[in-house]
Amino acid sequence: MSSSTGTTGTTTVIGNIATLVTNDPSLGDGSPLGVVRDAAVVIEGDRVVWTGESSKAPATDNRVDAGGRAVLPGFVDSHSHLVFAGDRTEEFNARMSGRGYTAGGIRTTVAATRAATDEELEANLTRFLSEALRQGTTTFETKSGYGLTVADEARALRIAAAHTDEVTYLGAHVVSPEHADDPAAYVALVTGEMLDACAPHARWIDVFCEKGAFDGDQARAILTAGRAKGLHPRIHANQLSYGPGVQLAVELDAASADHCTHLTDADVDALASGDTVATLLPGAEFSTRAEWPDARRLLDAGVTVALSTDCNPGSSFTSSVPFCVALAVRDMGMTPDEAVWSATAGGAAALRRTDVGRVAPGAYADLTLLDAPSHVHLAYRPGVPLVSGVWRRGVRVV
Ligand code: NIG
Ligand code: FE
């Protein structure tokens, strides 16, 4: 068979799927997850070309037996910080003995990252990527933000861009140590020479809008400058305290406001009124012993919610989307269906992508096979390595 997307070549059917999550409401049970029981998926080249009931699957060149297990879209991890060196075990230990989390710890990783070679940074990145892939992540975004000089930010983005299209310039993570006494000069650098060096390597621009990092006016100046250079905004917003980040994100049509832990009713209303996705990062609340974001409140208000790892050495050193799904279900008021949607289609929405996060004709053949009969087991069996197969762009990689 040939597809409408122009792919040609060998076709493979993955059959005997007990539960297929398509995220296409026009398929299967009509829910947002578009669940098809006793299902099959046909792959041709790097794309899905057919999904439906196994008994109706077209003839193909090859066949894979899913063994009565669940298949869902590969996870779309729309928020991570993977270009760094060193770790912050001591800081974590101190937090677990009662110390609080602040933005200042970022500078520890900045020092280690600046001291690392390109090869060390890339080796670290690829290690985390293969860790994430083994846990079902097939699309990931990652950021700079641990260099904070023109050269160190640009090299972080160059290294990241060799591994993903979803690269974010986060020169405005914190004010660099060299500019501690002159934040305005650092904002001028971030919006000037550093932006010029970084924009060619990135799709997105991000700001940590928070006490101890950048205020609303600085964030607006930085994101506006990035937009003028063709970068699209996303914001670390309302993580540690209430603040202007979420409403600024909606005002600037940012693809995503990330964290959203401390929200006023006006913040929730703003998110519900625009196209900005609320990306929740429960690994951060877990690892900083902070209050959980209220996913239920956002969902009930009609906000699009994504779930991501925020994998970084300070506030959330996990690359596991399944772990975040389990936390979101247990502690943030999400149902298993909602959490799985948010970790797949929600992540895709936070990256403004329609070619990932769903298993439907035309989408990339990015699939996760679970050693379980349904996706609900991701929350029901927390901490268990359920991912037993991963296809990325039509190729089985796990
Ligand atoms: O998303 N909030 C800002 N950035 C990261 C933390 C980075 C760090 O502590 O190194 C976050 O949680
Ligand atoms: Fe982050």
What distance in Å separates the CA atoms of residue 361 and residue 395, rounded to the nearest whole number? 16
Q: Which of 141, 310, 317, 324 to mutate to test the pocket of ligand 1 (most atoms within 8 A of CB)?
A: 310
What distance in Å separates the CA atoms of residue 289 and residue 93, rounded to the nearest whole number? 12
**Interhelix angle for 216-228 vs 183-191, to 10°?**
20
DSSP alpha helix (H) spans, 216-350? 216-228, 245-251, 265-273, 282-288, 295-300, 321-331, 336-341, 347-350
Nearest to 24 by CA among 64, 72, 75: 72
Q: State the distance from the centre of ligand 1 to the C-alpha of 288, rounded, in angstroms.
A: 11
% residues pLDDT > 90 (the chain): 96
Please tell me the number of Cα atoms within 13 Å of 114 on its side-chain side: 12
Q: State the distance from the centre of ligand 2 to the C-alpha of 181, rounded, in angstroms.
A: 24
pLDDT band at residue 102 using 50, 70 and 90 as cut-offs: confident
Q: What is the pLDDT of residue 6?
A: 44
> For residue 146, which atom of ligand 1 is closest to its CA?
10
> For residue 316, which atom of ligand 1 is closest to its CA?
12
Residue-wise pLDDT for 343-398, tens only, equals 999 999 999 999 999 999 999 999 999 999 999 999 999 999 999 999 999 999 99
> For residue 213, which atom of ligand 1 is closest to its CA?
3
pLDDT at 3 over 70: no
Q: Which of 81, 240, 307 to mutate to test the pocket of ligand 1 (most atoms within 8 A of CB)?
A: 81
pTM of the full structure: 0.97
Q: What is the pLDDT of residue 226?
A: 98
What distance in Å separates the CA atoms of residue 367 and residue 40, rounded to the nearest whole number? 12
> For residue 105, which atom of ligand 1 is closest to its CA?
9
pLDDT band at residue 104 using 50, 70 and 90 as cut-offs: confident
Q: What is the pLDDT of residue 340?
A: 99
Ligand 1 shell residues, CB under 6 Å:
81, 105-106, 109, 208, 236, 239, 284, 310, 312-316
Nearest-CA residue for atom 5 of ligand 1: 315
Q: Which of 89, 109, 174, 236 to mutate to test the pocket of ligand 1 (most atoms within 8 A of CB)?
A: 236
Nearest to 295 by CA among 266, 320, 324: 324
Q: State the distance from the centre of ligand 2 to the C-alpha of 120, rounded, in angstroms.
A: 21
CATH of domain 76-350: 3.20.20.140
Q: What residues are neighbours of ligand 2 (ion), with CB under 5 Å? A: 310
Nearest-CA residue for atom 8 of ligand 1: 314
Residue range(s) occupied by CATH 3.20.20.140 in the chain: 76-350
Nearest to 67 by CA among 134, 135, 14, 23: 14
Residue range(s) occupied by CATH 2.30.40.10 in the chain: 11-74+358-396
pLDDT at 140 over 70: yes
CATH of domain 11-74+358-396: 2.30.40.10
What distance in Å separates the CA atoms of residue 115 and residue 2, rounded to the nearest whole number? 51
Residue-wise pLDDT for 212-268, tens only, equals 999 999 999 999 999 999 999 999 999 999 999 999 999 999 999 999 999 999 999
What mean pLDDT, rounded, does the chain reach? 96
Nearest-CA residue for atom 11 of ligand 1: 315
Q: State the distance from the centre of ligand 2 to the C-alpha of 193, rounded, in angstroms.
A: 24
Q: How many residues does the chain have?
A: 398
Q: State the distance from the centre of ligand 1 to the C-alpha of 230, rounded, in angstroms.
A: 25
> For residue 88, which atom of ligand 1 is closest to its CA?
10
Q: Which of 148, 289, 315 to mutate to test the pocket of ligand 1 (most atoms within 8 A of CB)?
A: 315
8 Å CB contact between 76 and 347: yes
What distance in Å separates the CA atoms of residue 369 and residue 209, rounded to the nearest whole number? 38
pLDDT (average), residues 329-348: 98
